[in-house]
Structure 1
Amino acid sequence: MNILFTICGRAGSKGIKNKNIMNFLGYPLPFYTVSAIELYKKKNPDIHCDTVLNTDSLELVRIFKDQLNVEVEIIERDPSLGLDNTGKSVVILNCLEVMKMRKSTNYDMVVDMDITAPLRTVKDVNDLIQKKLNSDADVIFSVTDARRNPYFNMVKKTEDGYERVIKSSYNARQQAPVIFDMNASLYAYSQAFLETGKGIFEGKCDVIKMFDTAVLDLDHETDLELMEIIAEYLFFNKPKFHEVRDNIRKLLIT
């Protein structure tokens, strides 16, 4: 089986400046993603895996080349793929097209791992890949249990005041449909579906559930501070999370 791991990161950031190259508890943030990939590869030596970084950030490329003793292909992102309205699936497709030519390989699966999601385990990666192998879904992505429910305790503003996001008569959360938060950490695509150019929800989707970290998206400086607090607890109290962080030092050029 052939798997292509993609890591996609733009230069700069609209929320946290240069978040893709920021240090996170002692290591560059993207190194947590690389570490999880390398651990998966180590535990599954029978699976052929290629890893590619797609970016327009020269600094990010420098960090990968100067600090990591890991085989990662680099794709210098075309400016047309670095616009604010460019969907990530288009960039992932670009990774696939370039790597198919470079490696003369057809991939059974493309696994995208978000560059700013350090709180994942090797089990999460394995669960995603196994789910994709055993499912007829076009895309598998990671979720966590939602802390709010649009049928019950989420509201929107209207001309007449506030009302539930989705109108309902539910009086208890347990009565409402089960809702999940997409945590933007892991995605597994079939090559055939990715090549159609369709969006995620234009195909058949399935999910894996990950440990709930309150779905912290890194959009503001305080998000990073809060994530470091959570991460510090997980890295030093949960062995599966600690494994990923501890492995980073083994990947560094000495």
Structure 2
Amino acid sequence: MQASSKPPSRPNRLLAIRQGIPGWLYWTLAVAGLLLPVLVWIIATSIGHVDPVFLPSPASVLERTKAWWDDDLLGDIGISVMRVVVGWALSALLAMPLGLLIGTWRGFQALMEPLMDFIRYMPAVAFIPLVMVWVGIDESAKVAVIFIGTFFQMVLMVAEDVRRVPMAQIEAAQTMGATRGEIIEKVIVPSAKPALLDTLRVTMGWAWTYLVVAELVAANSGLGYAILKAQRFLQTDKIFAGILLIGVIGLVIDQLMRFAHRKAFPWMYARH
């Protein structure tokens, strides 16, 4: 039987599993993915059958954003970014070493992980009365709510990142006479760094989700406070504006952290 001379067909690169696509195609699809919901929104509000109180038009949201700009929008953005970043940074400062201990030594895991698991299921909003009693109602209270919402999750994610370091690397270092400190410093931490930066990026997104909850605590500024105030007056267009602004800021931060990941670990993105 004569073998077929027809070359094997190449799979569609767009549908190939975990294969790269050209940069222009990636960004075209990314922009399309962002614009498609906006197009649906425009069509839905243009038909005229939707009450603007329930779904304002993009034009009215844009007008409200312009008016908000004149009413110190930059100040609201700045204070919200500060609250989120400080709460997230404090979480990272404590969660990184604690997660490293839990992921490295089973004794610390047995001692601390059940407690972290227990507390992380408690909603952050439930801590607001205690936060107001413990730290008052000033800026530290808003930061504390964001800290509570991210810290316990971050500890467990860091511990899991550390546990994913291959045991073969640790055993090789032990064979060469490395001490415990050297294994942590020169094997575990460098091997876990890419995953740790991804964990920081993901938990930054969680920190933003707790912003509105944090600004329930006697706030008089910030994006979350503006959203809650707009809710009381049924200013749906301002609610949409605040939500979209939080999404845009979060997307920018996320892309900056992705860029930092690529720069820090270029070997992970090398094309084969």
- Fold in common (TM above 0.5): no
Q: TM-score, normalised by structure 2?
A: 0.21
TM-score normalised by L of structure 1? 0.22
Q: Structure 1 or 2: larger helix share?
A: 2
Q: Which has the larger radius of gyration?
A: 2
